[in-house]
Amino acid sequence: MPLLRRLAASLPLMVSLALVGCASDGGGGIQSQKLATIKARGKLICGVDGKLPGFSFVGSDGQYTGLDADVCKATAAALFGDPSKVDYRDLNSSERFAALASGEVDLLSRNTTETLSRDAAGGNGLSFAPTTFYDGQGVMTPNASGVKALKDLAGKPICVESGTTTELNLADRMRELKAAYTPLKFQTGDQTYAAYLQGRCVAVTSDRSQLAAKRTSFPDPAGHTLLPEVLSKEPLTPATTNADPAWADAVRWTIYALMQAEELGITQANIDAKLAEAKANPNQADLRRFLGVEGEFGKQLGLPADFVVKAVKATGNYGEIFERNVGMGSKLKLERGSNRQWKEGGLIYSPPFR
């Protein structure tokens, strides 16, 4: 029930600001309180959408799957060596930041666009990890509507989820086109797409990946088309809060590890062989450091030395995660596009593990 969930999400924020917040006065130094809390709890609490096929979706077996869910699993594996040690919290787009700020979730992996105001300490005060999916905002219409371009939507109602960047981008683009329109805002994706399918809106707007994902669960997926226009840049990025830089680093480098693993050709299948190779050959210093055979990268992050091995073993490298959940082998059938490795002309780029 959205109202209860919203209450549950915002109440801890207010209460914790008032009561628990004083606890953060102590500590300091390199020691991360968040990491200590998570380790003591023995589970990672991960905020996800939960209703978006390909990103985070509860299957018929009750298990979460998807690209966003895999980020949670990889992080849990890096922490505990076990990808199942995750408690998922389904959050809607309005309650996600309050849930993160209040500490109700440790990590927000919920197709969230990285923006200045969300990152800035004077705004939402988030700390963004590496972008896991480079997306753009699109508009979907029923084929029967006859809408061929954005300007055809002048004077027509458009469904949009409230509290998203898509809401602002839509306002900006339509203002540029000098096209009046009626935004119909709903609190959850379910309501938004229900109203669209009922024919209340001539179009629905969201990230192109999300539109493609939702379309797979429509009664008639072939009856709906994405307009050619891309309204905005939408780098979908996991996030933690500004409050704990050490925890943010641990998440950041776990995700970089998945990207670096793809670049080095390390996969879920060959990770054990690569590890054995690194252990046997002292000359492969890069590989040995990356897999934690030597050096102390893990220790510097507050993670086990072999966190890279555990993460890749749990979910595979970034490319495998992409293909399995949203790529051509999945129901969504999305191209790698901008999400290719930098060596292939994409934007996926891990800084060196040194």
Partner 1 sequence: MPPSSVSAVTPWWRNRRLIPGIVQAAVGLVVLVVVAFLVGNLVRNLTAAGLLLSWSWLGNPAGFDVSETLLPFDASLPYWRALLAGLVNTLRVVLLGLVGATLFGTAVGMASFSSNGLLKRLARIYVELIRNIPLLLQLVFWYFVVFLALPNGTSAIQLPGLVLAKSGLYLAWFSDLWHLQWQGPHLDGGVWHAPLRLTVEFGALLTGLVVYTAAFIAEVVRGGVASVPKGQWEAANSLGFNPLQTLQRIVLPQALRVIVPGLNSQYISLAKNSSLAVACGYADLYSVAETTLNQTGRAVEVVLVLLGSYLVIDLVISALMNGLNRMVQLKER
* List of residues contacting partner 1 (CB under 8 A): 1-3, 10, 13-14, 17-19, 21-22, 24, 93-94, 97-98, 101, 117-118, 121-125, 155-157, 162-164, 167-168, 170-172, 174-175, 181-187, 191, 194-195, 198-200, 243
Please, which residue, 185 or 313, has the CB nearer to partner 1? 185
Please, which residue, 15 or 285, has the CB nearer to partner 1? 15
Please, which residue, 97 or 253, has the CB nearer to partner 1? 97
Please, which residue, 19 or 285, has the CB nearer to partner 1? 19
Are residues 135 and 67 in contact, defined by beta-carbon separation less than 8 angstroms?
no
Smallest distance, Å, CB 29 to partner 1? 17
Please, which residue, 87 or 172, has the CB nearer to partner 1? 172
Smallest distance, Å, CB 188 to partner 1? 9
Smallest distance, Å, CB 313 to partner 1? 37
Smallest distance, Å, CB 116 to partner 1? 11
Please, which residue, 17 or 328, has the CB nearer to partner 1? 17
Are residues 6 and 104 in contact, defined by beta-carbon separation less than 8 angstroms?
no
Please, which residue, 145 or 268, has the CB nearer to partner 1? 145
Smallest distance, Å, CB 30 to partner 1? 19
As given in the structure block, the two tokens for residue 117 are 């105001």
Please, which residue, 1 or 222, has the CB nearer to partner 1? 1
Q: Which residues contact 292 (CB under 8 A, 6 or more apart)?
A: 298, 304, 305, 306, 307, 308, 309
C-alpha 285/C-alpha 240 separation (Å) is 32
Are residues 225 and 141 in contact, defined by beta-carbon separation less than 8 angstroms?
yes
- Spell out the SS3 assignment of the chain: CHHHHHHHHHHHHHHHHHCHHHHHHCCCCCCCHHHHHHHHHCCEEEEECCEECCCEEECCCCCEECHHHHHHHHHHHHHHCCCCCEEEEECCCCCHHHHHHCCCCCEECCCCECCHHHHCCCCCCEEECCCCEEEEEEEEEEHHHCCCCHHHHCCCEEEEECCCHHHHHHHHHHHHCCCCCEEEEECCHHHHHHHHHCCCCCEEEEEHHHHHHHHCCCCCHHHEEECCCCCCEEEECCEEECCCHHHHHHHHHHHHHHHHHHHCCCCCCCHHHHHHHHHHCCCCHHHHHHCCCCCCHHHHHCCCCCHHHHHHHHHCCHHHHHHHHCCCCCCCCCCCHHHCEHHHCCCECCCCCC
Smallest distance, Å, CB 182 to partner 1? 5
Q: How far is CA 279 from CA 179, 283, 290, in A?
A: 63, 10, 12
Smallest distance, Å, CB 151 to partner 1? 13
Smallest distance, Å, CB 160 to partner 1? 9
Smallest distance, Å, CB 131 to partner 1? 20
Please, which residue, 145 or 284, has the CB nearer to partner 1? 145
Please, which residue, 191 or 268, has the CB nearer to partner 1? 191
Smallest distance, Å, CB 164 to partner 1? 8
